[in-house]
Amino acid sequence: MASAETTGEFQLRKEYIDTAVKAVALAQYKLKTLCTIDSSDAWTETYYRETNTELTGGTGSAVRGIPRLAQFPYAEVSWTKLSSIIEKYGCEGQISYEDATKNNIPMIARTLLRIGRTTAYATDVVIESAVSTNAANSVTIAAGYEWDATAIQNRDPVLDILNGIQTIRADNIDPLTGNGYLVLNGTSYTDLISNTKIINNPTFKTADVVSNGVVGEICGLKIMITEAVTADQAYIIIKGEALVWKEAHPLTVLQMEDPGIKTTIRAFELGVCQVQAPNALCKITNTRK
């Protein structure tokens, strides 16, 4: 029969640390929450990206207006074969025995926070890079019409967002099904929220509870803030459709005790981001002058 443990013993502390770091990291993940999580047992992940262009019947063979007794026009779907390599993400911190037990600063709590945040941020930076590189749709704001343009009357983020939505809708993908997100940096969010065209827009509302960076809605899109996005651009992303996170190993936390010397807290995960539906993404550039 397992023996009962008392407060402060290693077994109880390890379980607490593991739960706490995971909770911190999960709260810090932003872009990863927009991915479909798919488990992986391979080092190289290969997938096929389907061409989003609508099918046609070929030259001289329209889908519409087929004559009587004529053969149906032929069409075929095409895919592009792509591969990505699993990467390891992780961080660790060490707290001396003296600091853990005698320091005025809560060393364990602070280390938990920073390790969780660092791991999550590194993951989000990689996902942002994948989105920036692979987004099939784009809107470029003209010089002098940025969200912080000198001429206040030239600032029109609502129109820019609507144009971004339309670029995705033109590919027969609807961003307004409840899974569409406007993702931007905190600086761009300040430009956005201070604009009267935004705050007076009937579609704008703030979030009742801020979770994973989602702070409100505009034009039918949830607004998400993450510093992984640079302050000169924003993205429209359809959650669960555009991005897949291939997870080779989930977030794992280890606490290693060296009694009387130190405690090591380590968090790590293995995975890679795949942009499997680039047409479910739109990159809005030149948001700041």
Task: Please give the Cα distance from 221 to 225 (Å, whole number).
Answer: 13
* 266 and 165 part of one domain: no
Same domain, 249 and 217: no
Whether residue 44 is predicted with pLDDT greater than 90 in this model: the reply is no
Number of domains in the chain: 2
DSSP assigned state of 169:
H
Determine, yes or no, domain membership for 69: no
Q: Are residues 23 and 114 in the same domain?
A: yes
More confident residue, 195 or 39: 195
Residue 23 located in a structural domain: yes
Q: Is the domain of 127 the same as that of 143? A: no
Which pLDDT tens digit goes with each residue over 94-139?
A: 989 888 888 777 787 788 888 888 888 999 999 999 999 999 999 9
Neighbours of 162 (CB within 10 A): 14
Q: Report the CATH number that the domain containing residue 154 is assigned in CATH.
A: 3.30.2320.10
Residue 143 and residue 206 share a domain: yes
Q: Which domain does 35 fall in, by range?
A: 10-57+78-131+244-275
pLDDT (tens digit per residue) in 109-120: 788 888 888 888
Q: How far apart are CA 242 and CA 273, in angstroms?
A: 10
164 in the same domain as 151? yes
Query: Based on the domain organization, do 41 and 100 belong to the same domain?
Result: yes
Tell me, yes or no, whether 3 lies in a domain. no
% residues pLDDT > 90 (the chain): 50
Question: Is 2 a member of any domain?
Answer: no
Are 215 and 83 within one domain? no
Same domain? 143 vs 45: no
CA 248: distance to chain centroid?
Answer: 18
Q: Both tokens of residue 6?
A: 């008392």
